[in-house]
């Protein structure tokens, strides 16, 4: 039986669907437990400016379960769907704040750290208050934290826009993640001035291969600059990507060419070892 056949003649309850639901159910409990036990950690992917200085880093959630390796691409959508993303987001933020406080190198580097933020989190009534509490507990200045949100925040709700404005009013930086892949209505730039636009890696990947993608990337760089935003390229993997983006005026670079996401210990080395170890 092909997948197509199965979906054509299935009632809503099939063995495979049941298996899917059971898997999700067990994933829910495992994720809950992982959150409670502090098994959701973060890795840091450094971001570099045009001169090769580390100017920031993105905190990416990791589920440290040796038995069932599970990537954010799998567990983040499930956390969103099952109502655990708010808790997970606060856990990640708390870990970042703790690392900022506990490590002199990081404290002295004085670079902002980005955390990803799902649309669902913005809808939680305590979102802003909880962030304020976590930062307050660690004594972290709001300027140290960047919130990365995707364009999906602009899909329908004006309330989300005002939550984002509040984040900026409170002193945080705001980045639009995966820019160009979602609901890119330029209208929202009238109401919101993001500090950072991140060019999605699905465009960066085709630099040198697809002239259309090159035009899109150039246009995003120009748009960001005209809007007074810093532009970050994601998924910079090759020398060609790096050189091309540099020549087009891209400000900040993030990708395997420079560094993979790193455990804290290795991330701290980026500051002490200098440029020779950056690749």
Residues 153-192 that bind ligand C2E (CB under 6 A): 177-178
Q: Output 192 or 236, the one with its CB closest to ligand C2E.
A: 236
Task: Tell me if 116 contacts ligand C2E by CB under 6 A.
Answer: yes
- Find the angle CA(47)-CA(224)-CA(146) to the nearest 5 degrees: 45
The residues in 213-242 that bind Mg ion, with binding defined as CB under 5 A, are: 234
Binding mask 62-101 toward ligand C2E (x if CB under 6 A, else -) reads: ---------xxx--x--------x---x--x---------
**Among the listed residues 175, 80, 164, the one whose alpha carbon sits nearest the alpha carbon of residue 128:** 164
Say if residues 96 and 44 touch (Cβ distance below 8 Å).
Answer: no
Q: Which of the ranges 18-26, 188-196, 232-240, 270-278 carries the binding residues for ligand C2E, by CB under 6 A? A: 232-240
Cα separation, 261 vs 273, whole angstroms: 17
Question: Where are the extended beta strands (E) located within the chain?
Answer: 40-49, 54-63, 113-116, 145-150, 173-179, 196-199, 230-233, 252-253
Establish if 235 lies at the interface with ligand C2E (CB under 6 A).
yes
Distance in Å, CB of 6 to ligand C2E, minimum: 29
User: Measured between alpha carbons, how far is residue 105 from residues 82, 153, 253, 268, 269 in Å?
Assistant: 37, 34, 22, 7, 9
Count of residues that bind ligand C2E according to CB under 6 A: 24
Torsion sign (Cα): 262, 266, 270, 276 = negative
Range 134-173, binding Mg ion (CB under 5 A): 148
Cβ nearer to ligand C2E, comparing 60 with 192: 60
Return the number of other C-beta atoms located less than 10 Å from residue 156's C-beta: 10
* Residues near Mg ion, by CB under 5 A: 116, 148, 177-178, 234
* Residues near ligand C2E, by CB under 6 A: 45, 60-61, 71-73, 76, 85, 89, 92, 116-118, 148, 177-178, 201, 234-237, 255-256, 261
């Amino acid at each position: 039986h092909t997948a197509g056949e199965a979906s054509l003649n299935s009632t809503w309850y099939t063995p495979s669907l049941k298996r899917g639901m059971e898997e999700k159910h067990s994933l829910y409990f495992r994720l809950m437990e992982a959150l409670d036990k502090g098994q959701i950690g973060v890795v840091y992917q450094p971001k570099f400016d045009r001169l090769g200085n580390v100017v920031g880093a993105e905190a990416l959630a990791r589920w440290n379960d040796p038995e069932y390796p599970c990537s954010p691409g799998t567990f983040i959508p499930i956390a969103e769907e099952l109502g655990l993303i708010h808790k997970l987001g606060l856990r990640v933020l708390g870990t970042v704040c703790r690392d900022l406080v506990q490590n002199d190198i990081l404290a002295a580097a004085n670079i902002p750290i980005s955390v990803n933020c799902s649309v669902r989190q913005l809808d939680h009534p305590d979102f802003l208050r909880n962030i304020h509490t976590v930062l307050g507990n660690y004594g972290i200045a709001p300027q140290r934290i960047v919130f990365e949100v995707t364009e999906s925040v602009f899909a329908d709700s004006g309330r989300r826009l005002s939550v984002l404005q509040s984040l900026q009013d409170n002193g945080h930086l705001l980045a639009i993640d995966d820019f160009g892949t979602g609901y890119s209505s330029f209208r929202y730039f009238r109401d919101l001035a993001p500090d950072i636009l991140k060019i999605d890696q699905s465009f960066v990947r085709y630099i040198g291969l697809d002239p259309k993608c090159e035009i899109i990337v150039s246009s995003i760089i120009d748009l960001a600059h005209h809007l007074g935003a810093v532009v970050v390229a994601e998924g910079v993997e090759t020398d060609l990507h790096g050189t091309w983006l540099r020549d087009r005026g891209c400000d900040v670079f993030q990708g395997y060419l420079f560094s993979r996401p790193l455990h804290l210990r290795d991330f701290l080395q980026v500051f002490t070892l200098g440029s020779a170890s950056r690749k």
